[in-house]
Structure 1
């Protein structure tokens, strides 16, 4: 998916709270890209995992100003969307637990939400 393209298909937004760093965002994105079955969907071209500026960050916001967007495209996107949403939630929880073990301080809180069509 080219930069600047709108959301095509169903999407899931992953946001970390204000304690998150850009390093946390990068690490979580890499974790999601390696997580099965997300990795398989990316390899098949049916899922794009993108970083984008947060749309809800107020001026002067501290912490990471990015969020992760998982965009499911192609035939059958609606059929597997619910399963993908659950898998993404489990993958983010696993990343948080891993971060708790390898990084000092508590991991950032997260939100995993479906994106309404037309919303970015």
Structure 2
């Protein structure tokens, strides 16, 4: 099955405000915003999946970007790269406006988003 969803997971002590801030940042990324406006992309917060030892304590939410429609598999790689770029930009911005290191962020394919 083609990938049609991307999971963004904040680790190492991320706070609820970090999750909200990163989700808002991704929603404002130009290409992602255009896809959201056209109905081809949804950005959701979901309860995080804890993957065994080393899972972060703290915020247990993931941000899931779900591509919708027939073009979803074709758009996946482009959106995946845009999300990784947006996450890097958010971490740099957070580093400049808040004390301490920003949380690590894992960006990975998430199957069909269900």
TM-score by length of 1: 0.85
Pair 1:90 & 2:85 matched: yes
Distance 1:106 1:57 in 2: 23
CA RMSD of aligned residues (A): 1.6
After TM superposition, where is structure 1 displaced by more than 6 Å over at least 4 residues in a row? none
What residue number does 2:107 align with?
112
What residue number does 1:103 align with?
98
Distance 2:20 2:75 in 1: 26
Distance 1:36 1:113 in 2: 21
Distance 1:21 1:63 in 2: 6
Unaligned runs of 5+ in 2: none
- Relative to its length, the structure with more helix (as a share) is 2
What residue number does 2:4 align with?
10
Distance 1:90 1:38 in 2: 11
Aligned length: 109
Cα displacement (A) at 1:18? 2.7
Distance 2:110 2:60 in 1: 18
TM-score by length of 2: 0.89
Residue deviations 1:29-69 (CA, integer Å, cap 9, x gap): 000000010000001111000000101166xx621110100
